[in-house]
Amino acid sequence: MSCFGCFSLSGYRVSSDGKPPKFQPPPKPVIIDRKTQKEERRFLSPEFIPPRGRTDPLKYYIERKDMIQRRKVFSIPEFYVGSVLAVTTADPYASDKSKRFVGICIQRGGKGLGATFVLRNVIEDQGVEICYELYSPRIQAIEVLKLEKRLDENLMYLRDALPEYSTFDVNMKPVPRMEHEEIPVNKVRMKPKPWSKRWERPKYNIKGIKFELPEHKMKAAQKWSQPWLEFDMLREYDTSKIEAKIRKEL
Amino acid sequence: MRLSVAAAISHGRVYRRFGLSPRSRLDLLRNLVTALVRHERIETPWARADEMRGYAERLIDYAKRGDKDERAMRMADFWLTEKDLIHKLFKVLAPRFQPHPGSYTRLLQIPNRDGLDRAKMAVIELKGNPLPPLVRPRRDSDKTLLNQLLKGYRQDAQRAAAARGTAV
């Protein structure tokens, strides 16, 4: 936001021998970008947050220490559900002993060291989903080709969407991003029904599909809505204090 | 191969089942919370009071967020069926509990109900209420060993102070 450029006045000095002074280009301006230095908005991976339960927090503390140890050796980049990743794993039966898979992350599950993410791609008209463990020693590299966030946490509906939304080129180049990731407004279009799950029902709470169903079907789906659930206060899990403690540990 | 849990096992379930359905359970607890906010001390079966306690304390946490918060107002609007109590919640109860971080209610068991069911009853009250206290804290008797020793120590200290006072 603030940029300082220093301009020298050497061009205006009168030279001793009367000839016009040699042109000296001004030094490059120094841009200090404050946007990237926001401390409060640092990303915390969701597998660090312990689930709600009665287990001893010591177990999660020890697991977190192990996770940090692994992250020091192998860097796990920041990514969200909906971003395109390329993962190289070790494989004893391949010719170069490693396998590369590109896909869109449709869900991130598990907590602690067993945290997983599922990548989906459509290869030669066949949909393929592979579930990788983040902290597995067989993973050699994770690159984020396109960092993107979606409106939902779970993109399982891509199985019933048109295949163009799940196909990604295996050799695509990483797309550079400067500003913070935005949530895209374009919605996904679906194949005709039947679907594997009834995504129009409010139980799944999906915001990223453009439903082309008739009005009476959408109204019939609302019959299964449970409006009292949002007022059920004991079901809420407030993670802000837990996150603050974990950030201090990191 | 059985894929779902058997009917009667409920390991790890935290929410009790009341009434005819989940909606009716919330309505029952909502009536109890409204009554608690109105009278500040009520007598109900122990299970209902225990279940209601969590909701009442979370409601007060929401009320502490303030009047202007949209979500707090919607929660109070849902949970308090009598609308004059919303004013009492935000203007009287929230400032009363502002200094405390948690535990705004007290739950005490009572002898079983007199009717045919002999249900386990409890009294749940908000702390700091204007009614007379339920439990009077009783001091230990003076004749216990510890109290006698403390009394002797206090008398020695007083004598020493008096002796120093006359000497100086």
Which residue, B57, B58, B67, is CA-closest to B88? B67
Which residue, B125, B121, B103, B127, is CA-closest to B47? B121
Same domain, B86 and B151: no
Tell me whether residues A231 and B26 touch, CB distance under 8 A. Answer: yes
Residue B29, domain member (yes or no) = yes
The model's pLDDT over A68-82, given as tens digits with 9 standing for 90+, comes to 999 999 889 888 888
A234, A235, A237: best to mutate for the B interface, most B CBs within 10 A: A234
Strand residue runs (E) in chain B? 41-45, 105-110, 121-126
Residue B4, domain member (yes or no) = no
Residue B36, domain member (yes or no) = yes
A226 vs B: CB within 8 A: yes
Measured CA to CA in angstroms, residue A196 lies from A96, A113, A193, A200 at distances of 38, 30, 9, 12
- State residue A235's pLDDT score: 87
- State residue A29's pLDDT score: 66
Per CB-CB distance under 8 Å, the chain A contacts of B59 are 233
Residue B28, domain member (yes or no) = yes
Same domain, B150 and B118: no
Do residues A39 and A104 touch, judged by C-beta distance below 8 A? no
Average pLDDT over residues B36-51: 94
CATH number at B27 reads 3.90.1030.10
Tell me whether residues B58 and A228 touch, CB distance under 8 A. Answer: no
How many domains does chain B divide into?
2
Partner residue facing A228 (CB), from B14, B23, B54: B23
Q: At residue B33, does pLDDT exceed 80? A: yes
Per CB-CB distance under 8 Å, the chain B contacts of A228 are 22-23, 26
A231 vs B: CB within 8 A: yes
What is the token pair recorded at B62?
């929401």
Which residue, A113, A60, A76, is CA-closest to A249? A60
Same domain, B68 and B146: no
pTM, two decimal places:
0.76
Residue B30: which pLDDT band, with cuts at 50, 70 and 90?
A: very high
Partner residue facing A233 (CB), from B22, B23, B59: B59
Same domain, B107 and B163: no
Tell me whether residues A233 and B55 touch, CB distance under 8 A. Answer: yes
DSSP 3-state assignment of B149?
Answer: helix
Q: What is the mean pLDDT of chain B?
A: 91
Q: In chain A, which stretches have pLDDT less than 50?
A: 1-11, 14-15, 37-39
What is the token pair recorded at A152?
């939902």
Average pLDDT over residues B92-100: 92
Same domain, B49 and B98: yes
User: Between A27 and B165, where is the model more confident?
Assistant: B165
Q: Which domain holds residue B84?
A: 14-137
Q: Tokens 């109590």 map to which residue?
A: B85
Q: At residue B101, does pLDDT exceed 60? A: yes
User: Which chain A residue lies closest to B22 (C-alpha atoms)?
Assistant: A228
Same domain, B124 and B150: no
User: Which chain A residue lies closest to B54 (C-alpha atoms)?
Assistant: A234
Residue B130, domain member (yes or no) = yes
Residue B3, domain member (yes or no) = no
Same domain, B37 and B49: yes
Same domain, B36 and B57: yes
Average pLDDT over residues B87-106: 91
Q: How far apart are CA B32 and CA B134, in angstroms?
A: 20
- State residue A35's pLDDT score: 52
Tell me whether residues A234 and B58 touch, CB distance under 8 A. Answer: yes
A232 vs B: CB within 8 A: yes
Same domain, B95 and B149: no
Same domain, B110 and B157: no
Tell me whether residues A228 and B59 touch, CB distance under 8 A. Answer: no
Residue B1, domain member (yes or no) = no
What is the token pair recorded at A129?
């989903």
Domains defined for chain A, CATH in brackets: 39-249 (2.30.30.790)
Same domain, B125 and B151: no
Same domain, B126 and B148: no
Residue B116, domain member (yes or no) = yes
